[in-house]
Amino acid sequence: CLGQPTPTTTGVFSTIFVYLIALFISQLNLRFGIIRTRTHLPFSAPLILFSLHPFFLHMSPDFVALFFILLAFFPLLESHQRSYLQKYAYQSGILLAIASIFTIYVLFFIPLWWRVAAMMSRFSIKAVLSSIFGTLLVYWIVFALYVFADNIVGFTKPFYFFALFDIQQLPTLSVPMWGFLVSSSLFVIGFIIADYRYFSRD
């Protein structure tokens, strides 16, 4: 047993990740010219920000998640004015999925990534599917690891945050009621798909 990490160890790892975060923000600015003038602000601002409170001295999974989120910015900005976006969307989906392993709330960033990519270039449904495929690929590997470890509950537990209701407390409906519910839902979905071109014009 390795034992619990000491405060000194967590402080060292948090400091390393703070410097990595500052370095990657600076590289994003240098590579893509976000700030046109010469400045050290992208590197110094994160260092100052993460030095304002002792909370940031403790290593947490959020630091690792933020590291992969910053990595996902590289293919996102690289896709600017590119015609073939599937590769960049796939890479961003993988990096965001890895970040979400450490902090599950990162999954909320994936639709935001689609929106930003659509503003930067002509985003297509193929790029969306590539992003989803990259995300599912990471989670399929993680799911396989949990299956081999015989810990399915540990895999599903973080997703309880997204549940609007407890599946075990579903109302007991009769077969005709379920049939009416499913057929009504299919009818509404079919109506939306059939009139999509009119909705898109609006």
Rounded alpha-carbon distances, angstroms, from residue 127 to 70, 93, 104: 20, 10, 22
- Give first-to-last CA distance, the chain, whole Å: 62
CA within 13 Å, CB half, 173: 10
Give the Cβ contact number of residue 10 at 10 Å. Answer: 15
pLDDT band of residue 4 (cuts 50, 70, 90) is low
Helix ranges (DSSP H) in 53-124? 61-78, 86-102, 109-120
For the entire predicted model, the pTM comes to: 0.73
73 Cβ contact list (under 8 Å, min separation 6): 28
pLDDT in tens, 125-174: 888 888 888 898 999 899 888 888 888 888 888 777 665 545 555 556 56
